[in-house]
Amino acid sequence: MRYSSKVLVIAENTGYAKEKEVDFVAQKGDRLLYIQTTYTLADEQTARREYASLESIRDNYEKIVVSLDDFALPSNKGIRHVQAWKLHGLW
């Protein structure tokens, strides 16, 4: 794995798609949580881009997209959308 100032890029030899970026990876014990963040998911192109990195990860750990949208989107391929102010009870 290599780190940059904003993202963790998971190398191909770990079983994940090379060059897909995830904003945050949180670990607590043996639990892992992948988090994509965006200001808004108001347009389809942004939503596709934000979900694509998480969709490429082929494990069964939890994956969420966090935004400041006033609306909540339904789960998409097992990836949950969480409004930023509702993160407090997530873990």
Report pLDDT for 8: 44
pLDDT digit string (tens) for 16-68?
A: 455 678 999 999 899 999 999 999 998 999 999 999 999 999 899 999 999 99
- Per the listing, tokens 């750990």 go with 61
**What CA–CA distance (Å, rounded) separates 23 from 21?**
7
The whole-model pTM stands at 0.76
What pLDDT score does 90 carry?
Answer: 77
Give CA–CA dist 62/25, Å, rounded: 10
User: Can you give the residue ranges of every domain in the chain?
Assistant: 2-89
**Fold topology of 2-89:** Trna Endonuclease; Chain: A, domain 1 (3.40.1350)
Backbone angles phi, psi at 79, to 5 degrees: -100, 125
Strands 24-28 and 80-83: unpaired
Alpha-carbon gap, residue 2 to 59, rounded angstroms: 19
DSSP state of 76: B
Residue 7 has pLDDT above 50, yes or no: no
